[in-house]
Structure 1
Amino acid sequence: MAADEYKIDVKPEVLLMEQVLGPLADGELRVPRFQRPFVWRPEQILDLFDSIERGYPIGSLLFWETSEELASLDRIGDLPVPEPSPGRAVAYVLDGHQRLSTLYATLRRPADARRTTAQKDWMWWPFRVLGTGAEEGPSRYRHWKQAEPPPPYYLPLRSVLRTRDFLAFARDLEERATPNMDIDRLINEAELVAQRIRQYKIAVVRLVGGELSDAVEVFSRVNSTGQAMRPAQMVSALTYREKGQQTLADRLDGMVEQIADTGFGEVSSDAVFRAVLAVTGEDNVQEARWDVLAKRVQHKLQQAVDDTEEALERAVEFLRSENVGVPLARLIPYDAQLMLLTTFFHHCPEPDRHQMEELARWFWVTSWSGHFAGANSTQIKQAIQQMRRFAHGAESVTPDEERARPFPDRFDLRSARVRAFIIWELQEFPERLTADGEKVNPVDILARGATSAYRHVVIKAGLAAASSPANRLIMPTRPRISLRNTLLQLPEHLRGAVLASHGIPEEAWAKLAQGDDEGFIAERRAALAERERNFMARFGLSADTAEGETDIDTE
C-alpha cells in the first residue's frame, strides 16, 4: 500500500449553524470519549452567543471523518444523542467539544426539558433580552434562575432555529405584553437575532481518512485553544476501543477524586498517568512517542491502572505519615516524587523499617535540594530505574552529595523549596495559639486557602524583607485587627506561649515592639533557618546560612 494512502486529507469549509447541529442530532457527528468533559461556566455560554450575534469569530472546529469506530459520548451537553444509522459515515469532534455542547444543548433544547432553580438545569436555558429590558444589565444575554417564568421580552434561544417555536414565543409575547411594550419592535428584534444565529458561519476543518494516531497528532498541533493535547489524553485516545469500557482518562480522574475524598486534596493527574506508565514497565514517561508507547502498553494498561490505584493509595499514606508529614497534596514539592513513590509501592507494597526511613530521607533531600527541578527525561528515567532497584533490595535511593537550597527570600507556593519549608514548619509547630490562647490547627486553615492562610505580619511598601516566609503566620485574628497589632497587644501572661507556638523568638517580638520591622523579620528568619538546618542534619544534609533567591520550579 502506498505511503500516501495513510495520510489525512485536510478540508477547510464553512458551515451554517444548522449544518453543524443537524449531524449531531442524527448521531453522525460524535464526541469521542477521550475528550475532557464539559467544563464551561454559565457565563461562558452567554459570552458565546453574544459573540455569535455580533459576528465575532468563535474559533474553528476540527472534525475527523473515518471508517474507524471510536467509543463516543451518548450525551452532548445534557441532551442524549442517537446512535448513527448503519452504513452512514461518521465524523468525530477533535476540537470544539465545549462550543458544540453549548450550541447543541441550548439551540436544540426540547420545550419540555427540565427547568429548575438548580444550575445544572437553568444553565442550558439562555435568553436574549429584547428591547428596553436589555438596559437592565451589562449583557443582552441572561440566564433566568427563578422558578417563575421569565418576562415576556426574554427570547429563549431554543426557539431561534425552529419556526414553530419562534411563533409560539411571539404569541406568548402578545398575550403577556404590558401596555408600554412595542410588540412589533420586539418581534422584529427577535427575528433579527434569530436570523443572525441561523446565518452565522462556522469555520470547520474536516480531516478525512488516516488513522487515529494521525488525527491525534493533528489535534495536538492545531488545537484552536492553543493548548496541546496532554499525553494522558493522547494515550487514552490511542488505547480505547471497547464500548462500555472506561477510558484511561476516566480511570485517572477516578483515582484523583478518590484521593481527594480522603481530605488530602487533588494530586496531579499527570503524575498519576506517568506512574501508570512506570508500573507497566516503561522508563521514558516524560517525552515518549505517545503513539508508539500506546501500542506497546495497550494490552497491559488496564491491569497497570488497577495496580497503580493500590500503589498510589500506599504512596499517599506514606506522604501523610509521621515519616514525612505532607498534609495536603498541593504541598508535594515535585510531581516526580509522587510518581516515583507510587512506582516503589507497586514493587514493594510492604516495605521494612529501613526502606521507610530511607524513603523519608530521599523525600526530604530531593525536596530541599531541588533535585527534580527541571529534570529531563533521562534523569527521570534513571530515577525510575533506581527506585525499582531500591524496591527490590538496593541499599539506598537518596542521591549523593546533594546540598540544600538556602532559606528562601520570598514566600511563593510555586517554589518546591517553599513547599518543603511549609511541610517542615507545620511539623515543627503543629498547634498554634490565638491571641486568647486558644488552640487552632494550621492544616485545617491551610486546607481552606493555601496562600491566604499565611498572612503578613509587616505590610510596608518598599520593604524587601516583607516578602520573606519569616513575615508570614497562620494565626486567626479578630475582625479588622491586623496580625501585627494582634501580636503587639498579646496579654503578658500568654505572650510567651503564643509566640513560641508560631516560632517567634522573644527577641524578634521586641524588635517589632520597637518599630524595627526589618529587625523582626531578620530575627525570626534566623531562628527558623537554624531550626530547619538542625532538622536537615538528621538526614545528612547541610545548607548555607545565607538567604537565597526563591526558585520557581516548573515540571
Structure 2
Amino acid sequence: MPVEKTERDVTTLVGQISGGEIRLPEIQRGYVWKPTQVARLVESLYRGYPTGSLLFWQTTETPQTREAATGTPQATAAVLPLYLLDGQQRLTSLHRVLTDHPDAQVVFNVETEAFQNQSATTAKDPRWIKVHEVLRPGAKQFPLIQRLHEAVPALDPDVVGERIGQLAAVRSRRFHMEILTDFPYEEVAQIFVRVNSGGQRLRTTDLSLATLSARWPGILGKLEDEADYWARRDYPDLDVTFLTRALTGAVLGRGLNAWSHGKLVAASDEALEQGWRTVQRGLRHLVPLLRENLGVDHSGLIPSHVALLPLIVFLGERPDEPLGADTTNAVLYWFLVATIRARYSGSTDTRLGQDIPATREPEPIKRLLANLGALDTRVEVTANDLQGRNYGSPYFFLSYLVARRANATDWWYGTSISANAEGSQKLEYHHIHPQSTLRNHPNGYGKGEINEMANLAFISARANRKISNRSPKLYFPELDPADLAAHFVPLQEELRDASAYREFLVARRTLLAETMTALLDRFRPSWVAPLGGSADPLAGRSLEFQLYRGQAQTDGSLVVTARTGTDEWSAALGLADLESALRAAESGLDSDVDIAGEIVPVRVDHEDVEILMGPFLVSGSMAEWKQTLDRERADALPWSKYPVIDPRPWRGERVRFPVANVD
C-alpha cells in the first residue's frame, strides 16, 4: 500500500485547514494544548528545531469528521481532502497563531528572544510584540522595527531586524508529510491508535533503562540485585531507578536528558562494565561514611538522593588507597552543604554536568565546593536561615543529624532516636507546642509559624500519643531537662506558654543554628577558609499554600503567599487547574495555570516541574508536588474563611524555591 512523502510550509498548511482541504477524522481527540505549549512550538520553529512530521490519510471514502478547534468554520473543499492522523495539536495551534485566536496570543521578546502567552506584564513592555503582528498576511517589517527602536532606543535596530526577519520566516518553515492512500478505515484506525497511544511519557530513567537492557543483556538483573542489597541495609531508596541514573552518570559523565539513550547505545562494552564497577564500588564506600560518620541510618532521611551521584563517581573511581581524614570530612562537608543549599532542586542535568566531571579533576572535592560557591567562605547556619522552614526543608535533615550527635533519646522509651525504629517506637516529628492551642490563639499564629521545624522534635509514636495536645507547660515538668536539652529545646519556663510561642521559636532557632554550624565545622576541611560566611539565598524568604474549599470536595482555591523580607505577595489559583497542569507535566508536556488572572507557564525540566509564583520559581519532583497538595487537602479551610486578596504582578527578580519547603 503506497505512502506518499512530501513537504509543505506553515502558510500552505494553515490555508488548507481554513479551506477545508485538511480535516479531522472522527477518531481524533479534541484540542488540548495550553498557551504555553503553543508558545514553545512557535519558539521551536523560530529557532529551527525539529518539530516532527505530520501523518495524513487520503481516501475516496467519506469518513465522519469533527471540526478543528480553530474558532472559525472550515470551508467546503473543492478537492479531495486530507484527513489528519498525527499533528492535530501542532497544526491547530499554528492556525490559531496566524489567525489571531484569542487563546493563542503568543508574544516575542525582541531583546531576550523569549516566547510566552500575552500577560498584563508583557502588554505594558514594548520589548514584547505579538507574533501575529509579524506572521499575519501583508505584515510589513520596517514600521515594526522602527517602532521598537523608538520605544526602546537601547536595542540595536540591525539586531531587531534580524530577529523580526527570523520570526517572519516561521511562515515558510516546512513540515515533512506522510500521506497514506488506499488504506481501509479499519486499518487507518489501528494506525491512529498506535501513533497516538501512550499519553504517558517515558521518564528519562525509564528510557535509559530500556536502552541499557537492549544494549547490555542481563543489566536489569544486576540492578535488581544491587537494589535488594541496599534495601536489606535500610537504604531502599537506592532502587533500580536510582541505580540506572547512577550508572548513566558514571558512563556519560553527566545527568540524564532526552539524548542520554543515544549516547548509551554508542557506549562501548568496556565503558558500561567500568561504569557499573564504579557505581558498586562508590556505594560501598559512600553509604558507610553516611551511616557511621554522619548518622544517616536510613536513606529516607536524605532530602535529595541526586546529591549522592557525584560522590559515587568520585569514590568509585579513586585509586585503591587509604582515604585520609581530611578527604573523608570534605566529602561529607560537600554533601551537607549541597543538601541544605538544594543544589539539585532544579536544572538537575546541568548541575550534574558540572559536578560529575569535577570529580575527575586533580582536586575533585575542591572543584565540587567551588561549584557550590563554598570554597573560599565558611558556610554557617543562622537563625534567620531557619525562619519559616518546615519538615520539607533540608535543614530538617540537619536537625535530625544534630539531635543524633547530641545523643537525643525518645521521651517515652528512653532509646536513642533512630529512623529505623518500628512499631510504637517508630520515629515521628512532634509539635512541641501543639497545633490545637496555637491555631485559634489570640496572637494569631499563622500556619507557617505553627509548622516551623523549630517547633518539631523527633520522638516515638507512643510518646507523641502520650503527650497528645497538651501544652509544654504541662508535660515538660514530666521530662528530664537533659532530655529536652539534647533536642535543643530552650529550658526557660516562660517560653512554655502559647502566648510566648514566637519567643520560643526565636530561642530554638538560635540553638539549632548554632549546633548545625558546629556540625558543618566538624566536617569542614582545613583548606576551606575558617572566616566569612556564605549566605543562604532563601534566608528570610518563605512560601505558604492554603487551600479553601466549599461543600463540593472537587472545588477549591489555593491561596499562595510569598514573603521576602518586608515584602509580601499573595495570589490565588484553582486547585483543579493546578492539578490538570501537573497531570500534563507528568506526561512531559508544558502547560500553564491562571494565577490571579495572569497566565503563568508550568514547565517540565527533565523530572522536575517548575511554576512561577511571585518572587519564586517553585520547583520540585512530581512526587513532591503531589505530597504538598495532599497535605493542603488535609489542612483545607472552609470558604467562609477565604481572605481578601489584592493580587499584583511581580516585577522583581525571582529566586528558585523548592516546593518541599512550602508551608
TM-score when scaled to structure 2?
A: 0.44
Give the corresponding residue for 2:245. Answer: 274
Indicate if the aligned counterparts of 1:466 and 1:521 stay in contact, CA closer than 8 A. no
Q: Which amino acid aligns with 1:440?
A: T
Q: 1:235 to 1:265 in 2, by over 3 A?
A: closer
Q: In the aligned structure 1, how far is the partner of 2:352 from the partner of 2:267?
A: 19
Q: 1:554 to 1:256 in 2, by over 3 A?
A: farther
Q: In the aligned structure 2, how far is the partner of 1:398 from the partner of 1:482?
A: 43
Aligned positions of 1:31-430 closer than 5 A:
222-224=197-199, 226=200, 228-241=201-214, 245-246=217-218, 248-267=219-238, 269-280=240-251, 282-297=252-267, 299-300=269-270, 301-322=272-293, 324-348=294-318, 350=321, 351-389=323-361, 397-399=368-370, 401-402=373-374, 406-413=385-392, 415-419=393-397, 421-430=398-407
1:233 Cα offset (Å): 2.7
Q: Which amino acid aligns with 1:531?
A: T
Deviation track 1:318-372 (CA, whole Å, cap 9, x = no partner) reads 22131x3322212223233211111011111543323212112211221222333
Deviation track 1:36-75 (CA, whole Å, cap 9, x = no partner) reads xxxxxxxxxxxxxxxxxxxxxxxxxxxxxxxxxxxxxxxx
Deviation track 1:266-287 (CA, whole Å, cap 9, x = no partner) reads 225444223212322x123321
Q: 1:446 to 1:515 in 2, by over 3 A?
A: farther
Q: 1:361 to 1:444 in 2, by over 3 A?
A: closer
1:241 Cα offset (Å): 4.7
Q: In the aligned structure 2, how far is the partner of 1:317 from the partner of 1:428?
A: 16
Q: Which amino acid aligns with 1:372?
A: Y
RMSD in angstroms over aligned alpha carbons? 4.1
What SS does the corresponding residue of 1:321 show, helix, strand or coil? helix
1:467 equivalent in alignment to 2:451: yes
Deviation track 1:78-135 (CA, whole Å, cap 9, x = no partner) reads xxxxxxxxxxxxxxxxxxxxxxxxxxxxxxxxxxxxxxxxxxxxxxxxxxxxxxxxxx
Give the corresponding residue for 2:470. Answer: 485
Aligned positions of 1:398-547 closer than 5 A:
398-399=369-370, 401-402=373-374, 406-413=385-392, 415-419=393-397, 421-434=398-411, 438-444=413-419, 453-457=428-432, 458-459=434-435, 460-461=438-439, 463-464=445-446, 465-476=449-460, 477=462, 481-483=466-468, 485=470, 487-490=472-475, 494-507=479-492, 509-513=493-497, 515-538=499-522, 539=524, 540=530, 542-543=534-535, 547=540
Q: 1:388 to 1:426 in 2, by over 3 A?
A: farther
Q: In the aligned structure 2, how far is the partner of 1:499 from the partner of 1:298?
A: 57
Q: 1:495 to 1:450 in 2, by over 3 A?
A: closer
Indicate if the aligned counterparts of 2:389 and 2:542 stay in contact, CA closer than 8 A. yes
Indicate if the aligned counterparts of 1:285 and 1:377 stay in contact, CA closer than 8 A. yes
Q: In the aligned structure 2, how far is the partner of 1:449 from the partner of 1:339?
A: 34
Indicate if the aligned counterparts of 1:446 and 1:453 stay in contact, CA closer than 8 A. no
Q: In the aligned structure 2, how far is the partner of 1:471 from the partner of 1:257?
A: 36
Q: In the aligned structure 2, how far is the partner of 1:252 from the partner of 1:543?
A: 40
Identical-pair percentage = 17
1:506 Cα offset (Å): 1.0
What SS does the corresponding residue of 1:223 show, helix, strand or coil? coil
Q: Which amino acid aligns with 2:406?
A: F
Q: In the aligned structure 2, how far is the partner of 1:527 from the partner of 1:389?
A: 38
Give the corresponding residue for 1:31. Answer: none
Indicate if the aligned counterparts of 2:291 and 2:297 stay in contact, CA closer than 8 A. yes
Structure 2: gaps of 5 or more residues? 6-24, 28-185, 525-529, 544-615, 622-663
Give the corresponding residue for 2:30. Answer: none
Q: 1:4 to 1:409 in 2, by over 3 A?
A: farther
Indicate if the aligned counterparts of 2:400 and 2:458 stay in contact, CA closer than 8 A. no
What SS does the corresponding residue of 1:454 show, helix, strand or coil? strand
What SS does the corresponding residue of 1:485 show, helix, strand or coil? coil
Indicate if the aligned counterparts of 2:307 and 2:343 stay in contact, CA closer than 8 A. no
1:297 Cα offset (Å): 2.1
Q: Which amino acid aligns with 1:387?
A: T
1:417 Cα offset (Å): 3.9
What SS does the corresponding residue of 2:361 show, helix, strand or coil? helix
Q: Which amino acid aligns with 1:389?
A: E
Indicate if the aligned counterparts of 1:239 and 1:298 stay in contact, CA closer than 8 A. no
Q: Which amino acid aligns with 1:234?
A: L
Q: In the aligned structure 1, how far is the partner of 2:333 from the partner of 2:469?
A: 37
What SS does the corresponding residue of 2:202 show, helix, strand or coil? coil
Indicate if the aligned counterparts of 2:467 and 2:475 stay in contact, CA closer than 8 A. no
Q: 1:423 to 1:485 in 2, by over 3 A?
A: closer
What SS does the corresponding residue of 1:385 show, helix, strand or coil? helix
Structure 1: gaps of 5 or more residues? 6-11, 15-200, 209-214
Q: In the aligned structure 2, how far is the partner of 1:299 from the partner of 1:207?
A: 38
What SS does the corresponding residue of 2:296 show, helix, strand or coil? coil
Q: In the aligned structure 1, how far is the partner of 2:26 from the partner of 2:498?
A: 73
Q: In the aligned structure 2, how far is the partner of 1:466 from the partner of 1:537?
A: 30
Indicate if the aligned counterparts of 2:408 and 2:417 stay in contact, CA closer than 8 A. yes
Q: In the aligned structure 2, how far is the partner of 1:321 from the partner of 1:276?
A: 25
Aligned residue pair count: 338
Q: In the aligned structure 1, how far is the partner of 2:314 from the partner of 2:395?
A: 24
Task: Choose which of 595, 611, 620 in structure 2 pairs with 1:554.
Answer: 620
Deviation track 1:180-212 (CA, whole Å, cap 9, x = no partner) reads xxxxxxxxxxxxxxxxxxxxx9x995699xxxx
Q: Which amino acid aligns with 1:488?
A: K
What SS does the corresponding residue of 1:554 show, helix, strand or coil? strand
1:483 Cα offset (Å): 4.8
What SS does the corresponding residue of 1:474 show, helix, strand or coil? strand
Indicate if the aligned counterparts of 1:251 and 1:305 stay in contact, CA closer than 8 A. no
Q: In the aligned structure 2, how far is the partner of 1:491 from the partner of 1:451?
A: 21
Deviation track 1:226-258 (CA, whole Å, cap 9, x = no partner) reads 3x2123332333343599x42x44433332221
